Every structure is written in C-alpha cells, then in structure tokens.
Structure 1
Amino acid sequence: MDIVRRNNVTVTGNPQGRVVVLAHGFGCDQNMWRLTVPALAEDHQVVLFDYVGSGRSEPSAFSAERYASLDGYARDVLEVCEALDLRDAVFVGHSVSAMIGVLAAGLAPERIGALVMVAPSPRYIDDDGYRGGFSAEDIEELLDSLESNYLGWSAAMAPVIMGNAERPQLGEELKNSFCATDPDMARVFARTTFLSDSREDLKKVAVPTLVLECTQDVIAPREVGAFVHRAVPGSTLVTLDATGHCPHLSAPEATNQAITAFLADLR
C-alpha cells in the first residue's frame, strides 16, 4: 500500500529547511497541529500524518496485532520517513507519540536527529519509586469504561484531559476528535497507550531532546516530566505556562516559542 495515502501524509512549509515531523497523540489526528504549523513553516519543511486507525488514514491497513504495541506505531513513523526519504528530521510527538518517537529514533537514528516531547509519559501507572499519575485499578477502570461505551467515555474524559474548563470549546474539540475515531481501533490504541512502559527506552536516547510539560496536567503530572528529563541524557526540560494535556491547542504561543527556540539551537 502507498504509505503516503495510508497515513494521510501532508508536506508543507519550506522545502529548503530542516524537516520537522509532527505526530499526534491518542484519539487525535494531524489537525491538532494546525496552530503550530504556521510557526514552523517559514523556516522548516513540516510533515504531518495520521497513524493508521486515526484521522483520515486508510482503515483497511489497521491490524490489531501490529498496533498492540508501540512498536507498530513506530513502524508507521519509520515507513513515512522512508517513503519521503527523510533524514535527520526533528520528531515532535504529543503524549504517547513522544515515546513512539523514542522507539523510532532508536530503530533508525539516521532518520530522526532530534526529539521534542510534548506532555510525554513513559508509563501511566504508578510503580515503586515512580509516579505516573494512575493506579493499576484507575487504568483498568478507564479502559473498561472506554471499551464498554466509547462515545460516553469520550464525552466525559475529553474535558478532563484538555483542562482549561473556562474554555469549554477546547474540550469539545477534543471530544469531537475522539468521537471521529473508529471505536474498535481506538480501543486497541488506548490499551497500547495506557499499559505501555517505555522507561528503559528513555535511557537509550542519543539525540538532542526537548521535554515540554505543563504546570497542571492530569495525564502527565510534573513528576513525570522531571522523570523523563532525568532519564534522557542531556535533555532540556521546559515547563510551559499552560494547563491541561494539549498545550499546542490551549497555549500555542508558549508551545511554539519553546519548539522554535529549540530548533534554532540545533542549527
């Protein structure tokens, strides 16, 4: 299958600039980056895509077996990079995509030369000496609710994940994005996301890395950002003046400024 069509790949911006790949999180699609693209497009070539099972990707390409682990999504990333012959790209991953980027960079370091992690979490479940923000029971309850009534889960959880209750339109947008995702495919991605543990993979990162966290984030609390920063050798941690789990929507100016400053330092 044609990868560009399979993953609904979009290429925009300056073809002479360094390539920046923008990768969305669970339940979202590339449209979630629309407030970031203009800040990057003048100086960088920007690549956007939808993971198989999300957005306007090709649904017939979905495989529950392939996407039962983050490796399957990392293969999506690398196949997009190969199809476009991308080298030394900067991979900007939101939420679970930050860990997908870590895996992709490890598998093909010639393709990905730097990472930007937006509200990352290597493990959502608390562990001895580690706070992920959720107990194992919390996550099982979340997954049971999602699997039994996906639309109801989306309506209830989107505003919580987005935060910024004073701007309900943001939560509504995230809810609509969740609801536009095929429930069966979303269930697979959710289980893969919330049961993942990428903590050991962080230690192997060998490229410049920016970690962006928010002041308040129910999905990835500040302790998680600090953990990621400590685990990734030489990484930079920036705490955005933003709340919620989607700062590229709720605080695009602060998010874009942090990303563009990091990109400028890479030159």
Structure 2
Amino acid sequence: MSVLVRNNVKIAGQGTRSIVFAHGFGCDQNMWRFIAPAFEDSFRTVLFDNVGAGGSDLSAFSPAKYSHLQGYADDIVELGHALDIKGGVFVGHSVSAMIGVLAAKKAPELFEGLVLVGPSPRYIDDDGYTGGFSAAQIEELLDFLDSNHMGWSAAMAPAIMGNPDRPELGQELTNSFCRTDPEIAKHFARTTFMSDNREDLPGLDARALVLQCKEDVIAPVSVGEYVHRQLPNSKLVILDATGHCPNLSAPDAVIKAIREFV
C-alpha cells in the first residue's frame, strides 16, 4: 500500500519547499487546522495521520513495529521520500517532536529545520533530569488507560489541554482520544510515555525551534529548556500560552514563531 494512502496524506499549498505537520498522541491531522493554512501561500503543506490514528489504515498497525518511536519515524522517512522532500521543515507536536528528531537523523536530507512543539525526550524523572512524572505515576496513568479507555480520556484530556476557561478545547481533545481504537491507544501510550530519546538530541544536524508553553502538565518548562540545551543548533521560545496543545489554544502565537523561524 502507498504510504500516501496508508497515512492519509493531504497536500495543499503552492510553495517549492515542503512543511510537514505531525500530530501527537490521541490526535490526528485535524489538530493542525488553525496552523497549516497560514503556510499554504509559501510552502507545500503536508498533513498526515500516524498509523492507528485518524483516517490512516488501521490494518497497517503492527505492535512490533510501533513498539518504538523509530517505527513512526520510519514512516515519515518513507513519506518524505515518496514526496521527494528535500530541505523541508518538520513541525511535530508532543511525541511527534521526538519522532521528527529520529526521522531527521535517519534521513538528514529531508528537513533543514524542525519545529518541536511541547517536546519531551523522556517523561519519567531520572537522576539530574526532571521529566515531570515519577515512574509510579506513569505506571498508574497507563494502568488507568488499560482498564478504562473512555474514563481515562474524559479525565486526562481536559488536564492535558489546560485552559479550563475554554472547556470546548478540552472536550475536543476528549472526543479525539475517544475516537482512537482503544487497543492502539494503549499501545501507543506505552510506547510514548516509556520512551527515552535523550541521547538522540545532541547528534541532530538540522536547525530546531523549541516551542514551549509557560504552563504544561505533560512537558514542563524545564523539559523544553533541557531539549534546547541538548540540541546543538536550537532556539527556545516560551509561548504566552498554557496547556499542552498551543496549536489549538494559541494558534496565532504558534504561527508567528514558526514564520520567524522558517
């Protein structure tokens, strides 16, 4: 099956360079609807769904392949080659930020710039490193998801989104989580929250923009600062926004930062 069909790839815009938008856990390409159109006048915009999400081919989901983030990164490399992308820009939200780093390291010709929105190379605290969660907290989170997908979605999505004064945002994320196949969601959550990609950061050649919200329960400011310190050619922008999904809650600020970077 063509990667363009498997990953539900949608192309728009009229630029000669490509800008690829990758969504986070429990989401799909619709999460970029406020961002991507702003770049259609100067880029070829590429939207897609990770296998197991949105309009992707669910039958292509392989527990073995996708037990590591590299499996998702390999899909991006395949997509990039299919579209003949060279020197493009990759915009990755949440876990897809690290997936983009892995893809750029495997095929450095694809992207000259990476925009990492709320990235975290490791969610679990370690000696000298604050990821935001203890190992016990992550296990509790995953056990809750394993036992009650719908309940987990209803409880976690509003907390992840933040912005309690705008409950419609939390509801949208809840609905997105609930639409995800429960078994795939459980698998992707474990792959995401148990990952450790800290050693992959220093060897990245591409320019990087780290976009960090000033308050984020999933990826706190200390994590954004860590990513910035570890990347050899990066810029850190602290957005005047809260929550883990500024692509929905603060799209104008995200667009402005990306425009200044590209």
Other-structure match for 1:33: 32
1:11 aligns with 2:47: no
TM-score normalized with structure 1 length: 0.97
Alignment size in residue pairs: 262
Match of 2:199 in 1: 200
Q: What amino acid maps onto 1:232 in structure 2?
A: L
Matched, 1:67 2:71: no
Q: Which whole-Å CA distance do the structure 2 matches of 1:186 and 1:113 have between them?
A: 31
The 2-side partners of 1:22 and 1:187 are apart by 23
- Structure 2 partner of 1:86: 85
C-alpha RMSD over aligned residues = 0.7
Distance in 2 of aligned mates of 1:58 and 1:114: 28
How many angstroms does 1:84 deviate by?
1.2
CA distance in 2, matches of 1:112, 1:191: 28
Deviation at 1:2, TM superposition (A): 1.3
- Between the aligned partners of 1:17 and 1:217, the Cα distance in structure 2 is 35
Matches within 5 A, 1:161-240: 161-240=160-239
Per-residue CA deviation, residues 194-250 of structure 1 (Å, 9 max, x unaligned), is: 000010100111111000000000000000010000000020000001000000100
Detail structure 1 runs of 4+ shifted over 2 Å in the superposition. none
Opposite residue 2 of structure 2, the aligned amino acid is D
CA distance in 1, matches of 2:146, 2:65: 19
1:8-65 alpha-carbon deviations (Å, 9 max, x no partner): 0000011x33210000000000000000012111111100000100000001101001
Q: What do residues 166-185 of structure 1 show as CA deviations (whole Å, max 9, x unaligned)?
A: 00000000001111110111
Shift of 1:82: 1.5
Distance 2:68 2:165 in 1: 36
Give the letter for the 2:7 counterpart: N
- Aligned partners of 1:236 and 1:81: how far apart in 2? 24
Stretches of structure 1 lacking an aligned partner (at least 5 in a row): none
Identity over aligned pairs, percent: 62
**Structure 2 equivalent of residue 248 of structure 1:** 247
**Per the alignment, in what secondary structure is the counterpart of residue 125 of structure 2?**
coil
Whichever residue aligns with residue 154 of structure 2, its letter is A
Aligned to 1:130: 129
Counterpart of 1:80, as a letter, is L
1:155 to 2:154 alignment: yes
Deviation at 1:115?
Answer: 0.5
For residues 110-159 of structure 1, the C-alpha deviation after alignment (integer angstroms, 9 at most, x for no partner) is 11221000000000000001100000000000000011111110000000
Q: Secondary structure at the match of 2:225?
A: helix
